[in-house]
Chain A
């Protein structure tokens, strides 16, 4: 299974983060992790990474419901930023609200809308997709 370099998880739920990390490790999903607990944190950090011209993550798993800055806000901001590397953003959320689904489609950079919980298979599939791109 091809690995991705850096996987970024933006989620305020620590259990999920823990769980996701664990699964990713188990699956040998990626090399490194970036964990942010809300959108603002993520944005600030990623911005600074970009500015620092450092490696951006290949994949972002973005949660929607987050305090301070939720997923949408983050997306709004993030997509404004021009990056050299294409960042695959997957929205991973518990929300099955079709409005959210629809909204997600508005963003080019959003590849998929995944409903929690994620499983090994889900990750594998993600990888497949990522690879095939």
Chain B
């Protein structure tokens, strides 16, 4: 169709007539048709509009001419055009949108081509017939209403109350999000279903009211359910438009108007208002208004409350100013008010008011002036009770002051910087430490005053290592310790901590670093370390035992020495408590002492105690304990030192014992005088015994006298002479007593003491030196009275003398007797012999034989007696060493003859080296006796021998003489064996005295004799001789 349009435009453009035609004729629209192709027809929108079509449908090209033109009509029209009789005026009927037929008076004009042929026809519509006009008008009205409804988005409803028939328009459905189509079938029910139950209920009631005629209109704002599930608000109003003949409402029409938004706004508004009111109240914001024309003041509820006046208070204009206290505040408000009124300068000030109750309050006063015609007629504004805020501000300021004061008083350096690294806070301590003047300085200048170094004191800190920057970029200070070396002032060792300052937005706006001067601490630490090291060294290496105990007396630490003292290993010792190693006798005392410590009654302990060594023996110690307390005064540790004084103690004990014994001796020896002197002879000790014996008192003698007082001068001199001779140097006076002692020689001898009363008595005096570490510091003379002894001695001596005498006499007697008897018996024998020589015949005489025998016997007896006598008087001292073998040999030689005759073999196995102690005569006699016995008592039945052996046994030499002779029945004769004149054999030579004498001889030599024998087998004699050590 656009083609046609184009043609039309071109034509119009070319032909002014056409243009005019349209103007005049096409009031109500036109159409253009191409005669050649009548389907090509263009209708202008106006026509459609006039015919009641909606703009949309026109635009969408959804209508065709056939909608408005019936075909017949169209053809008729076309034909007129095609005919030669071109009618320029005609009447055409169209179909109105509402299906009514509208007739128009139309004009037509032909468009010719170059050939002057009619190609197209333009038909313009001027007016319509009256009937149609009416219809048009009506339609227009209807359209207008429809447009109104459309424009206002009103949903309409028609309801037949009696039948229930319900008619909704599209809008009604649209309001609820539906199409009308979707809601089909529509009925009362539809309304009910879609309506909010509550509102529906109210609606019914209102409808009822309306039906009764109480209201002109049914009006309700109710909710309906939108298709999407939400509730929407609808203004529902309607009216009954027709009644039934019997007066009942028939049709009711009404409208739905979507007021959701308004409603919601309304509700919101309500809420806001409520909120505003409430917040106003909470914020204590009160409204005020001053009408300058009427000179009236309005205060809101809250304003009144702020001013502490009752709600019904009516403020007068002049009074208002009284609520401001005289002075600064009143001046301010008056000034501000004036400015606002005169110059329109609005104010927003904080000042104090004085309430009706006389209370001062801080308020914020806002004043806005309202001008009309250049003059201020009204001022209004707000009052806000900012008392609390003001208070808070004051507190804040105070806090601020506090903070600042703290920062400047504390000994911790605080510095902070902003995000550019510029220093923003430098508290007093920091200033002092860095040696900078008290002005805030920038980063660059700071280095003029100080340098920062690492803890070695040499390496300066790099930029990255600066604590503040570190804190800012990393959130913490990693190298916490550094050294500040100010240009002026002393170096300080600092430990720093820092952190970022983070704003509410989460961004870093700076950093803060706190620094502590640990110079002193470090020094102290070092000192402590040294001290601790010293202590440790001392502790470990002490020559005495040391231990640290806790308040319960458990060992915490022990040193090696203590371990050595007590014999436990360090580990073992740590398991024990001090009480476990304490001697049970000291346990109670020690526990009491420890309690006193813990109570704080004692702070130092020093006592001797006994501990038990691991192996059980007692260790004497000196126990020193001191207590280390904590700040509350409670004991933290005990430090004890344990010195082993066992040797000392034992020595002391021994000394004590010795002293006690000495005392005892000194005092108990009442009969023994103990006189002690110094090196010069002055008496220093004089015991009870001395007092008793000598009759002097201690006081008289000590430090007053020398022992010379109690001696005989003559004796002293005599002894002196003796000693001089012996020692080959002059000895006299006190030296006499000390000479031997000094030389370490034994000096015990008899002296005479002289008692005080002059009586002399003998004593045995022993003098010994008293030494102290090898040096003689005095002498001790112990004298025992020996008068008794002396008497006894004398007695013994005299007895001895007597005995000796007796012995001598006896010996003499013996000798004399034996000698004389011998003489006579000898004579007798001799005479007998002579007689026999003279008278040989007499030999046969029996009596002669008897005489001879008698004489012999006599001789022999005397000889024996002699021997016996001799034995008993011999003395030990005459023994001298004799070679045994030689004696044996000698004796053997003596009896060699007899032995030969008897055919007895003598075997000598005696060791030629052996020597014995004895008397030669005796020895010879003994050996001889046994030899002769051995020969004498040989057995005839065998080859006889006598064997001699010697063996050393202990202190003796045992000479064994063995024969194989007749033997002796020891069972019978042992007792009598060595008796005098006891014989055991029938042998006529047995005299019975030999063994007796021999035994005596042996015994007198200090030996003994043993015998073993078996009858008819032999005899062994064992003779013990004293052994001579070469």
Q: Which residue numbers of A lie inside 8 Å of B, CB to CB?
A: 13, 15-16, 18-20, 22-23, 26, 65, 93-98, 115-120
B864 to A: closest C-beta gap in Å = 11
B848 to A: closest C-beta gap in Å = 17
A115 nearest in chain B by CB position: B822
Which of A22, A96, A97, A117: most chain B Cβ within 10 A?
A117
Interfacial chain A residues near B833, Cβ < 8 Å: 23, 119-120
Q: Which of A15, A20, A23, A98 contacts B921 (CB 8 A)?
A: A98
Is the beta-carbon distance between A94 and B870 smaller than 8 angstroms? Answer: no
Is the beta-carbon distance between A15 and B831 smaller than 8 angstroms? Answer: yes
Is the beta-carbon distance between B834 and A16 smaller than 8 angstroms? Answer: no
Contact with A along B996-1014 (1 / 0, CB 8 A): 0000000000000000000
Interfacial chain B residues near A20, Cβ < 8 Å: 830
B881: Cβ under 8 A from any A Cβ: no
Instruction: Report the separation of the CA atoms of residues A23 and B863 in the bound assembly, to the nearest whole angstrom.
Output: 23
Is the beta-carbon distance between B827 and A93 smaller than 8 angstroms? Answer: no
Contact with A along B822-837 (1 / 0, CB 8 A): 1111110111011001
Q: Which of B819, B831, B866 contacts A65 (CB 8 A)?
A: B819
A51 to B: closest C-beta gap in Å = 33
Which of A15, A18, A119: most chain B Cβ within 10 A?
A15
Is the beta-carbon distance between A22 and B826 smaller than 8 angstroms? Answer: no
B820: Cβ under 8 A from any A Cβ: yes
Is the beta-carbon distance between A94 and B819 smaller than 8 angstroms? Answer: yes
Q: Which of A19, A26, A97, A116 contacts B831 (CB 8 A)?
A: A19
Instruction: Report the separation of the CA atoms of residues A81 and B390 in the bound assembly, to the nearest whole angstrom.
Output: 170
A104 to B: closest C-beta gap in Å = 14
Mostly, the A contact residues are mixed
Mark out the residues of chain B between 266 and 314 whose CB falls within 8 Å of any chain A CB in the assembled complex. Answer: none
Instruction: Report the separation of the CA atoms of residues A16 and B822 in the bound assembly, to the nearest whole angstrom.
Output: 11
Q: Which of A15, A94, A115 contacts B820 (CB 8 A)?
A: A94
B720 to A: closest C-beta gap in Å = 41
Is the beta-carbon distance between B815 and A26 smaller than 8 angstroms? Answer: no
Is the beta-carbon distance between A23 and B830 smaller than 8 angstroms? Answer: yes
Is the beta-carbon distance between A19 and B818 smaller than 8 angstroms? Answer: no
Is the beta-carbon distance between B827 and A19 smaller than 8 angstroms? Answer: yes
Is the beta-carbon distance between A117 and B819 smaller than 8 angstroms? Answer: no
B827 nearest in chain A by CB position: A15
A98/B834 contact (C-beta < 8 A), A65-B819, A117-B826 known = no
Interfacial chain A residues near B825, Cβ < 8 Å: 117
Instruction: Report the separation of the CA atoms of residues A22 and B863 in the bound assembly, to the nearest whole angstrom.
Output: 25
Contact with A along B864-881 (1 / 0, CB 8 A): 001000100000000000
Is the beta-carbon distance between B823 and A94 smaller than 8 angstroms? Answer: yes
Interfacial chain B residues near A115, Cβ < 8 Å: 822
A-B contact count (CB 8 A): 65
B878 nearest in chain A by CB position: A98
Is the beta-carbon distance between B823 and A118 smaller than 8 angstroms? Answer: no
Interfacial chain A residues near B819, Cβ < 8 Å: 65, 93-97
B882 to A: closest C-beta gap in Å = 16
B838 nearest in chain A by CB position: A22
Is the beta-carbon distance between A97 and B830 smaller than 8 angstroms? Answer: no
Q: Which of B820, B822, B829, B830 contacts A96 (CB 8 A)?
A: B822
A17 to B: closest C-beta gap in Å = 10
Is the beta-carbon distance between B870 and A117 smaller than 8 angstroms? Answer: no
Interfacial chain B residues near A26, Cβ < 8 Å: 834, 837
26 A-B residue contacts at CB 8 Å?
A15-B831, A19-B827, A19-B830, A19-B831, A22-B837, A23-B833, A26-B834, A65-B823, A94-B818, A94-B819, A94-B820, A94-B821, A94-B823, A95-B822, A96-B818, A96-B819, A97-B815, A98-B870, A116-B822, A116-B823, A117-B825, A117-B826, A117-B830, A118-B830, A119-B833, A120-B833
B863 nearest in chain A by CB position: A96
Instruction: Report the separation of the CA atoms of residues A26 and B921 in the bound assembly, to the nearest whole angstrom.
Output: 34
A22 nearest in chain B by CB position: B834
Which of A15, A23, A97, A119: most chain B Cβ within 10 A?
A97
Instruction: Report the separation of the CA atoms of residues A118 and B859 in the bound assembly, to the nearest whole angstrom.
Output: 13
Q: Which residue numbers of B lie inside 8 Å of A, CB to CB?
A: 815, 818-827, 829-831, 833-834, 837, 859, 863, 866, 870, 921
Instruction: Report the separation of the CA atoms of residues A23 and B835 in the bound assembly, to the nearest whole angstrom.
Output: 10
Q: Which of A19, A65, A93, A96 contacts B834 (CB 8 A)?
A: A19
Interfacial chain B residues near A116, Cβ < 8 Å: 822-823, 826-827, 830
Cβ-closest 7 pairs across A and B: A117-B826, A94-B822, A19-B830, A116-B826, A94-B823, A15-B827, A94-B819
A35 to B: closest C-beta gap in Å = 15
Interfacial chain A residues near B866, Cβ < 8 Å: 96
- Other 12 A-B pairs with CB < 8 A, given A23-B833, A96-B819, A117-B826: A18-B831, A19-B831, A20-B830, A23-B830, A23-B834, A65-B823, A94-B820, A95-B818, A96-B863, A97-B819, A117-B827, A117-B859
Is the beta-carbon distance between A95 and B830 smaller than 8 angstroms? Answer: no
Interfacial chain B residues near A96, Cβ < 8 Å: 818-819, 822, 863, 866, 870
Interfacial chain A residues near B818, Cβ < 8 Å: 94-96
B826 to A: closest C-beta gap in Å = 3
Instruction: Report the separation of the CA atoms of residues A132 and B237 in the bound assembly, to the nearest whole angstrom.
Output: 209
A82 to B: closest C-beta gap in Å = 32
A16/B815 contact (C-beta < 8 A), A26-B837, A94-B823, A96-B866 known = no
Is the beta-carbon distance between A117 and B829 smaller than 8 angstroms? Answer: yes
Interfacial chain A residues near B815, Cβ < 8 Å: 95, 97
Instruction: Report the separation of the CA atoms of residues A120 and B821 in the bound assembly, to the nearest whole angstrom.
Output: 21
Instruction: Report the separation of the CA atoms of residues A93 and B815 in the bound assembly, to the nearest whole angstrom.
Output: 11
A64 nearest in chain B by CB position: B819
A95 to B: closest C-beta gap in Å = 5
Instruction: Report the separation of the CA atoms of residues A93 and B823 in the bound assembly, to the nearest whole angstrom.
Output: 8
Instruction: Report the separation of the CA atoms of residues A23 and B833 in the bound assembly, to the nearest whole angstrom.
Output: 9
B867 nearest in chain A by CB position: A96
Is the beta-carbon distance between B827 and A13 smaller than 8 angstroms? Answer: yes
Instruction: Report the separation of the CA atoms of residues A97 and B868 in the bound assembly, to the nearest whole angstrom.
Output: 12
Instruction: Report the separation of the CA atoms of residues A46 and B837 in the bound assembly, to the nearest whole angstrom.
Output: 32
Which of A94, A115, A119: most chain B Cβ within 10 A?
A94
Is the beta-carbon distance between A13 and B823 smaller than 8 angstroms? Answer: yes
Interfacial chain B residues near A16, Cβ < 8 Å: 823, 826-827, 830
B724 to A: closest C-beta gap in Å = 39
A45 to B: closest C-beta gap in Å = 23
Interfacial chain B residues near A23, Cβ < 8 Å: 830, 833-834
Instruction: Report the separation of the CA atoms of residues A79 and B921 in the bound assembly, to the nearest whole angstrom.
Output: 29
Instruction: Report the separation of the CA atoms of residues A96 and B824 in the bound assembly, to the nearest whole angstrom.
Output: 14
Instruction: Report the separation of the CA atoms of residues A95 and B811 in the bound assembly, to the nearest whole angstrom.
Output: 12
Instruction: Report the separation of the CA atoms of residues A118 and B819 in the bound assembly, to the nearest whole angstrom.
Output: 14
A117 to B: closest C-beta gap in Å = 3
Instruction: Report the separation of the CA atoms of residues A115 and B837 in the bound assembly, to the nearest whole angstrom.
Output: 22
Instruction: Report the separation of the CA atoms of residues A19 and B835 in the bound assembly, to the nearest whole angstrom.
Output: 10
A95 nearest in chain B by CB position: B819
Which of B827, B833, B866: most chain A Cβ within 10 A?
B827
Interfacial chain A residues near B820, Cβ < 8 Å: 65, 94
B41 to A: closest C-beta gap in Å = 210
Interfacial chain B residues near A93, Cβ < 8 Å: 819
Interfacial chain B residues near A120, Cβ < 8 Å: 833
Interfacial chain A residues near B834, Cβ < 8 Å: 19, 22-23, 26
Interfacial chain B residues near A18, Cβ < 8 Å: 831
Instruction: Report the separation of the CA atoms of residues A98 and B925 in the bound assembly, to the nearest whole angstrom.
Output: 14
B820 nearest in chain A by CB position: A94
B119 to A: closest C-beta gap in Å = 217
A118 to B: closest C-beta gap in Å = 7
Interfacial chain A residues near B870, Cβ < 8 Å: 96, 98
B826 nearest in chain A by CB position: A117
Instruction: Report the separation of the CA atoms of residues A117 and B832 in the bound assembly, to the nearest whole angstrom.
Output: 11
Instruction: Report the separation of the CA atoms of residues A119 and B829 in the bound assembly, to the nearest whole angstrom.
Output: 9
B814 to A: closest C-beta gap in Å = 9
A63 nearest in chain B by CB position: B823
B921 nearest in chain A by CB position: A98
Interfacial chain B residues near A19, Cβ < 8 Å: 827, 830-831, 834
B925 to A: closest C-beta gap in Å = 12
A30 to B: closest C-beta gap in Å = 17
